[in-house]
Structure 1
Amino acid sequence: MQVSEAPVLFDVAGDLARITLNRPEVGNAIDLSMARALFEVATRCLTDASIRCVVLTGAGRLFCAGGDVDLFRSSSDNVDALLSDLAGTLHAALAALARMPKPLLVLVNGPAAGAGLSLAIMGDVVLSSASAHFTAAYGGLGLTPDGGMSWWLPRLVGLRKAQEIILTDRRIKSAEAEAIGLVTRVVADGTLASEGELVACNLAKAATAALGAARSLLRTSFETSYETQLANELQSIVRAGGSSDCREGLAAYFEKRSPDFGPL
């Protein structure tokens, strides 16, 4: 299924779903139509068991410039009401992508700013093109972070570095982004699609239920005590141990072959 001439392109081919932010003429800036479309496709990714891996990227030169500031200007004195709708819808979409029991691969094809930075860093694996760069970009507009940035950044780069990124709006180039853990890996310009395809296919062939459970454990680990996390890990691994994926993985290990994990 593929929809064209839409603010978000959504394509499902086999067990891979691809989400493409599709307003390249404005740097994939997020308006209400894009936020609503992203919520629709994120809900599909959350609920469709045939999808085993989700890939998110942007069309054109930028990954995502953040919120559509022209929309803010047209709202005059009602920017707060606009942001309530816009950020609220976007957050519902991001929550669905975070909760889905399958991995999210983000391919950062160009600069990411504001909520675009939030989208870029929320992937389980994040590949960045060498020419990409990252900016919080809220302070200059008199705004505060959204899209989960204040949640993700301290977990990825530490509180001190997160404070600098958000409060100073300093541009982070791709090499530094990899060095501080903002992205997983930087790849040469022109190779992002092919490198991403390899990672996506490997993730889609993995034990999806186990990856989904691991995502959940990682996401909640900062809110739980060590003993609680041990208990959560125990419940999770026992559940996984009773699955067909575990039986297949063990059989493949002893038969010295690659496992063939089926659909969820």
Structure 2
Amino acid sequence: MSAELKASRRDSTLILTLSNPGALNALHPDMYAAAVETLTTAERDTSIRAVILTGADNFFCAGGNLNRLLENRSKDPGVQVATLDGLASWVNALRDCPKPVIAAVDGAAAGAGFSLALACDFIVAGSSAKFIMSYGRIGLTPDGGGSWFLTRSLPRQLATELLMEGKPILGARLNELGIVNRVVPDGTALDAALAWAEELARLSPNAVERIKTLIREAQTNPLEQQLEAEKDSFIACQRHADGKEGITAFLEKRKPQYK
């Protein structure tokens, strides 16, 4: 069987499953285009309230296929450029998706698999799940935004250790460091992510999308610009139907019903 990205639905949640039997769900360029197309479609589907990225057979992802990388050495460099551009498009699609995206990690997330998990809004990990930036150990450097995400989430010295040494770090430790949101018993990461997605589905889709945008913009905006962005977003939400429903429900002491 070949590598593929499987898409399925559970109520209002879209589940994207990395599948590459016999290769620990190693990535393949075919997955990249499929992921971008699926996420783009999900953006327009109002019945989808959350997205989960997980791996088949209780293992998240081993990263890139090293045999394919060796083969690419004999090909035109443009082949590898196209592959990395495809991965970057997937990472951007995860970041830009207006729906909350949860990574459900059991087993391990290595290399670009770790980068994809970092690109998600939330990470749920099994208690013994490992996260590995193993590039330096095989003479390579990170891709998929791994260096960008970690240097914005951790002190420089710790980010350097993870990126340069490439030693595994447990999800429990990343939870302590604020990167992994929740640690659950092994084999239950997907179920926990689905339960969380159901909670998120009850929030205002408009507010969720705007909050995600504000978080992304805050990475680069100076304070004054961010204050302006918050003001514009607040007023837009206040005038949106979700804002009316949320405020009214709170005053009436009932649960809001967002459409």
TM-score interval (norm. to shorter): over 0.9
**Residues 38 and 90 in structure 1, CA contact (< 8 A), matched pair in contact too:** no
Query: Residue 233 of structure 2: which of 226, 231, 236 is its match?
Result: 236
Shift of 1:87: 1.5
- The CA deviation at 1:193 is 2.9
How many corresponding residue pairs?
259
- Give the corresponding residue for 1:121: 118
- Report the CA distance between 1:228 and its aligned residue: 0.8
Identical aligned pairs, as a percentage? 34
Say if 2:105 and 2:190, in contact at 8 Å, map to a contact too.
no
Measured in 1, the distance between the counterparts of 2:2 and 2:82 equals: 23
Q: Does 1:227 align with 2:224?
A: yes
Q: TM-score w.r.t. structure 2 length?
A: 0.94
The residue type equivalent to 2:100 in the other structure is: P
Contact 1:178–1:186, Cα closer than 8 Å, also in 2: yes
Measured in 2, the distance between the counterparts of 1:42 and 1:224 equals 26
Superposed CA offset, 1:127-169 (max 9, x none) = 0011210111111222221111122112222332211110111
Contact 1:28 1:59 in 2 (8 A): yes
Q: Distance in 2 between matches of 1:30 and 1:229?
A: 36
TM-score normalised by structure 1 residue count? 0.92
- Structure 1 gaps of 5+ residues are none
Q: Distance in 1 between matches of 2:168 and 2:179?
A: 13
CA deviation vs aligned residue, 1:199-220 (integer Å, no higher than 9, x gap): 0101112111111111111112
Structure 2 partner of 1:108: 105
Would the alpha carbon gap of residues 257 and 178 (structure 1) be closer, same or farther in structure 2, given more than 3 Å must change?
Answer: same
Contact conserved, 2:126 with 2:186, CA < 8 A, in 1? yes
Identify the residue that residue 32 of structure 2 maps to in structure 1. Answer: 35
The match for 1:69 among 62, 66, 69 is 66
Matches within 5 A, 1:82-93: 82-93=79-90
1:17-69 Cα shifts (integer Å, max 9, x gaps): 11000113211111122222222222222333332111110001420111111
1:168 matched residue in structure 2: 165
RMSD across aligned positions (CA): 1.8
Matched, 1:155 2:155: no
Q: Output the CA distance in 2 between the equivalents of 1:108 and 1:161.
A: 22
Tell me what 1:184 maps to. Answer: 181
